[in-house]
Amino acid sequence: MLALFLSTTLNDKTTEQDITLTDLEPASINTIKIIRSTANEILLQRENGQWWMHEPYHLPANEFRINTLLKLPGAHSYTRFRKNEVELERFLLNEPVVSVVFDNTRIDFGDTSPIGEQRYVLVNDTVHLINDSLYQQLQTPATFFLKTKLLPEDSGIKAINFPGYRVSKHEGIWKVDPGLDISADNITGLVHAWRNADAISIRDYEDSDNAGTVRVELEDGNIFEFFIVTPPPQLVLARPDIGLQYHISGDDAEQLFLISGYDEASPVDLN
C-alpha cells in the first residue's frame, strides 16, 4: 500500500531539493497559532519586532523557540500526495492532534512515517512528508514558549526587598539595610544577577506555602513580587499574579541572595 501512495507523488519541474512546504518568508509572518486537541491553544504575535504570547498568557515569548517554529513553513518536503487521492485517515490527518497556523496558512500534523523519523503534514490540498523535529515541542505546555527572564530586558532596578534586608540605591550608591558586612562588589553583583536572572524552566504556579517574598522595584515604577516557594539551591520563585513559577539553576540561585544559605528572617518594613 505504501508503494501505491508513493506512486501518487506530485509531478512538477522543481528540483527535489528545493521543494518546501510553503513559500512563506519567516520575516513576513506576524501571527502563529498552535492548536492542540489535548491542550490549550497558544497564540503568538509579533509586535514592534518582538514576539508576545497572547493566549493563554499575555507575556513576552521565547524568541529562540519562536525562531525554531518559523522554520516550519520552509521545511523540506521529501514526498507529496494530493489530498483527494489518498485516505487522510491512514496518515492520521482526518482529525489532527496538532495544527500550526502561520497568519492564514495552516499546517496539520499527522502520523510518523513507517520508514524513518519523519512525519506527514497537510498544507492546503497536499500531504507532505517532512523531518519530525517539532511535534513533541508543539505538545508541551504553553510555558515552554515563554521568555525565561524574570525581569524585562534592560530593567533599571531601584531596590530589592528580601526577607530580612533591603538593597537600594541612594545617590548612585547601593546600600543594604540593616547594615550587613557585605562588600560593594557583592552588592553590585547581586543587582546584576537579578537584572539578568534567567530560569531553566517555567511552570504553572502551584499554590503552596512559601518562605517569604522578594520584591523588586524598578526605576520605571513597576514592581515585581516573587514568592520563594523553594529556597536555594533548588530555587523556585513564583508569581501568583500571572500564575507562573520559575525554576532557577543552583549556580544562579546562590547569586540572587546576599546571605549564603538564604536568610529566612522577617522581611524588612517596606513602608
- Model confidence pLDDT, tens digit, residues 57-113: 999 999 999 999 999 999 999 999 999 999 999 999 999 999 999 999 999 999 999
Beta bridge partners of 230: 236
Structural domains counted in the chain: 2
| pLDDT recorded at residue 197 | 95
| Listed range (5-9, 13-17, 130-134, 228-232) with the worst mean pLDDT | 5-9
Q: What are the percentages of helix, strand and coil residues in the chain, rounded to 5?
A: 20, 35, 45
- Residue among 213, 211, 215, 174 at smallest CA distance from 191: 174
Give the end of a domain, one of 145, 165, 193: 145
Shared domain for 98 and 16, answered yes or no, is yes
- The CA-based angle 143-46-42, given to 5 degrees, is 35
One-letter identity of residue 95: E
| pLDDT > 50? residue 13 | no
Residue 67 lies in a domain: yes
| Listed range (33-42, 96-105, 254-263) with the worst mean pLDDT | 254-263
Residue 151 lies in a domain: no
Shared domain for 35 and 7, answered yes or no, is yes
Residue 192 lies in a domain: yes
Shared domain for 20 and 124, answered yes or no, is yes
The mean pLDDT of the chain is: 88
Residue 269 lies in a domain: no
- The boundaries of the domain holding residue 180 are 157-255
Shared domain for 90 and 178, answered yes or no, is no
pTM of this prediction?
Answer: 0.84
Shared domain for 191 and 109, answered yes or no, is no
CA–CA dist 145, 65 (Å, integer): 6
One-letter identity of residue 234: Q
In this structure, what are the phi and psi dihedrals at residue 27, rounded to the nearest 5 degrees? -70, -20
Residue 100 lies in a domain: yes
| pLDDT recorded at residue 263 | 47
Confidence band for 17, pLDDT divided at 50, 70 and 90: low
Average pLDDT, integer, range 159-163: 95
Shared domain for 129 and 181, answered yes or no, is no
Beta bridge partners of 81: 9, 127
What sign for the dihedral angle of Cα 230, 233, 238, 244?
Answer: negative
CA–CA dist 108, 100 (Å, integer): 7
| pLDDT > 70? residue 6 | no
CA–CA dist 240, 186 (Å, integer): 29
- Residue 218, burial from CB neighbour count under 10 angstroms (0-12, 13-18, 19+): middle
Beta bridge partners of 101: 33, 106
| pLDDT > 70? residue 11 | no
Shared domain for 15 and 121, answered yes or no, is yes
CA–CA dist 109, 138 (Å, integer): 10
CA–CA dist 212, 222 (Å, integer): 20
Average pLDDT, integer, range 229-253: 94
Shared domain for 62 and 138, answered yes or no, is yes
Residue 84 lies in a domain: yes
Residue 71 lies in a domain: yes
| pLDDT recorded at residue 74 | 96
Shared domain for 180 and 133, answered yes or no, is no
Shared domain for 166 and 246, answered yes or no, is yes
| pLDDT recorded at residue 267 | 39
Shared domain for 135 and 171, answered yes or no, is no
Beta bridge partners of 160: 167, 216
Instruction: Copy the grid coordinates of residue 29.
Output: 509572518
- Enumerate the H helices of 63-161 as residue ranges: 63-69, 135-138
Residues in the chain: 271
- Enumerate the H helices of the chain as residue ranges: 2-6, 63-69, 135-138, 184-195, 250-255
| pLDDT recorded at residue 260 | 52
| pLDDT recorded at residue 208 | 80
| pLDDT recorded at residue 258 | 81
Give the end of a domain, one of 114, 145, 176: 145
Q: Are 30 and 43 in contact (CB under 8 A)?
A: no
Residue 94 lies in a domain: yes
Shared domain for 189 and 209, answered yes or no, is yes
- Residue among 199, 262, 205 at smallest CA distance from 239: 205
